[in-house]
A and B are shown apart, each in its own frame.
Chain A
Amino acid sequence: MNDIIISLQNISAEYDGEKVIDNLNLDIRDHEFVTFLGPSGCGKTTTLRIIGGFVEPVEGDVFFDGERINGLPPFKRNVNTVFQRYALFPHLDVYNNIAFGLKLTKVPEKQIAAKVGAMLKLVNLEGYESRNINQLSGGQQQRVAIARALINEPRVLLLDEPLGALDLKLRKEMQLELKRIQQTLGITFIYVTHDQEEALTMSDRVLVMRNGKIQQNGTPEDIYNEPINAFVADFIGESNIVHGVMLEDYLVEFAGVKFACEDKGFAHLEAVDVVIRPEDFKMVGAEEGMINGKVESITFKGVHFEIIMEGHGLRWMIHSTESREVGENIGLNLTPNDIHVMKKLEEGR
């Protein structure tokens, strides 16, 4: 496996004695678009900073292209970063911000100018060379930050929530543009976000993190369709998560009802989390479903209705293109592959 460009092995990191990255293992392949996804404070930035050389892990090894790089200072690493708040140089104009990395090398000025021009073109900022940084909008500053980080042609680009400060429309545009840039240049992108939709649309591979640990590592489809536990399921899109008991292989009980399922390999009577996507329920008439109850509220969400039904002492969220009446009695049906049985999360770390 010599196409692994970055490898983190048994990495732990601490701040003031408190562990924030806990025995993390990860291989990233060359040319891959990998995304760290997780709630705020789960250790995404810290992991990026370990790769960039700004945080030294207390345990474990960092490999770059097969070479151990623990202790190597950031300025010697062939990795560049787009920082969370851009961190542009306020005393330099757009041209000199972008040229900064090249000017540190022995590259002749003419070549630098050509390269800066190409970068400005790549990020759609032609003609902005002599603008001041504080004359730029957030989106434009973002583009400068990307161009600046790319000019040294790093093998790996680290991006820490680069679109976090932009409004929704601009964010969508920039997502496509970043993906295009990554494909054009063919370099490895390691991307950090807490936005699940962003992670799913852009990445080749998503790493869902929680409390300094990777919960799941897979393609966007895997992560969405086969979440490994209730945390991932809940984080990736909306879910109904209820307590259940595994009676035997392929049979689970929850909400006081036994359901056929596709899961096996649990202990007899093991307590489990059962996850059901709201769009997977099939609505049927009153008392005709496996779960029955009364509609509590209906909200129109643009493409679908979000129906909250109370039944069997629980609240169920249903997404459907059909509407119902508030107060109406309805039933819900599930097929075995709508039911995802998951091991209970061990609490804390």
Chain B
Amino acid sequence: MRTKAAAYPYIAWGMLFIAIPLGLIIYFSFTDSAGALTFDNIIRVGKYSNVVVKSVWLSAVSTVICLALGYPIAYYMSRASAMTSRTLLLLIMLPMWMNFLLRTYGWMSILENSGLINQFFGLLGLGPFHLINTQGAVVLGMVYNYIPFMILPLHSVMLKIGNDVIEAAQDLGASPRHVLTDVVIPLSLPGIKTGVILVFVPSVSTFVISQMLGGGGNQLIGDIIELQFLGNAYNPNLGSAISFVLMLIVLLLMSVTGFIGDDLEENLI
């Protein structure tokens, strides 16, 4: 492999923002507060295994929902006129430009026992339903926040699927269902993989959403990590260890399920 001089800034950048932080996390994971080598932190992560499972489960559910909702939207956008497609793209990105906390507070006031939804049901003589502080609310928050990251890569991959290829399939006898399963889905697979990574990875370590919409009972692993750095439990070594283990779990899950492999680079472009 040849390294060109032009690549040096990127190498420096990579060192500064990726390799060094990663090295620090690993260093903290295997040391105690005095700096001595220890495996205590890693062993203590085991205590949180049910929280890890819950985080992975809720993120997986959110990712599947993002895919199920985002796929038809992205497909529609890619086949629509340029005008329609641009308008939809803008609508999808618009919430991203709003402050994250504000968006989530918005959902709190909608889901509260005295919130918009329950007020509406109240008018019909129903409810109130318990919506806030549930796992469902956490999933909703994740889907709402991360679905653009599913739609955008899907959209860009689907734009590259020519109408002529779809017409060729129809011409050869493919019903709309077969056009989808035999042509559109296989050709949009790179976008699906990218979207899943872009939604699942931030979901699994999310923390504010679970606190605001999940209440105290739905702590996720991200919340536990946050507590180790900013909370009363202050213990950066344990926090680093949890982050490190979580990272390994995510990498393992992704490679076992085939979402990252040789074609990762290709998928992300």
B173 within 8 A of A: yes
Stretch from B46-54, B132-140, B162-170, B207-215 that touches the partner: B162-170
Provide the A65-83 mask, 1 if CB < 8 A to any CB of B, else 0. Answer: 0000000011100011101
A87 within 8 A of B: yes
- B173 x A75 contact (CB < 8 A): yes
- B187 x A81 contact (CB < 8 A): no
A10 within 8 A of B: no
B187: A residues at CB distance < 8 A: 90-91
Q: Which residue of B lies closest to A151 (CB)?
A: B172
A182 within 8 A of B: no
- B171 x A74 contact (CB < 8 A): yes
A277 within 8 A of B: no
Given A87-B162, A91-B186, A91-B187, decide whether A101 and B172 contact each other with a Cβ distance below 8 A: yes
- B178 x A104 contact (CB < 8 A): yes
A-B contact count (CB 8 A): 60
B255 within 8 A of A: no
List residues of B (133-168) whose CB comes within 8 Å of A's CBs: 162, 164-165, 167-168
B175: A residues at CB distance < 8 A: 75
Provide the A95-108 mask, 1 if CB < 8 A to any CB of B, else 0. Answer: 00000110011000
- B168 x A81 contact (CB < 8 A): yes
Given A90-B187, A91-B186, A100-B182, decide whether A83 and B174 contact each other with a Cβ distance below 8 A: no
A85: B residues at CB distance < 8 A: 164
B171: A residues at CB distance < 8 A: 52, 74-75, 79-81, 83, 149
Count residues of B near A (Cβ-Cβ below 8 Å).
Answer: 17
- Between A73, A79, A90, the greatest number of chain B beta carbons within 10 A of the residue's beta carbon is seen for A90
- A100 x B170 contact (CB < 8 A): no
A89: B residues at CB distance < 8 A: 165, 168-169, 183
Count residues of A near B (Cβ-Cβ below 8 Å).
Answer: 24
A300 within 8 A of B: no
One of B170, B182, B183, B186 near A74 (C-beta < 8 A):
B170
Given A87-B162, A89-B183, A90-B187, decide whether A104 and B168 contact each other with a Cβ distance below 8 A: no
- A73 x B172 contact (CB < 8 A): no
Shortest Cβ gap from A55 to chain B (Å): 11
User: How far, in whole Å, are A73 and B172 apart by their CA atoms in the complex?
Assistant: 11
- A54 x B173 contact (CB < 8 A): no
One of B164, B172, B183 near A80 (C-beta < 8 A):
B172
Shortest Cβ gap from B180 to chain A (Å): 13
Shortest Cβ gap from A236 to chain B (Å): 30
A152 within 8 A of B: yes
B169: A residues at CB distance < 8 A: 89, 100
- A100 x B172 contact (CB < 8 A): yes
One of A83, A101, A105, A148 near B167 (C-beta < 8 A):
A83
Provide a sorted-by-A list of 12 A–B residue pairs whose CB atoms are within 8 angstroms.
A54-B167, A73-B170, A74-B170, A74-B171, A75-B170, A75-B175, A79-B171, A81-B168, A83-B171, A87-B164, A87-B167, A148-B168
B residues engaging A (CB < 8 A)? 162, 164-165, 167-175, 178, 182-183, 186-187
Nearest 3 pairs between A and B by C-beta? A87-B164, A101-B172, A87-B168
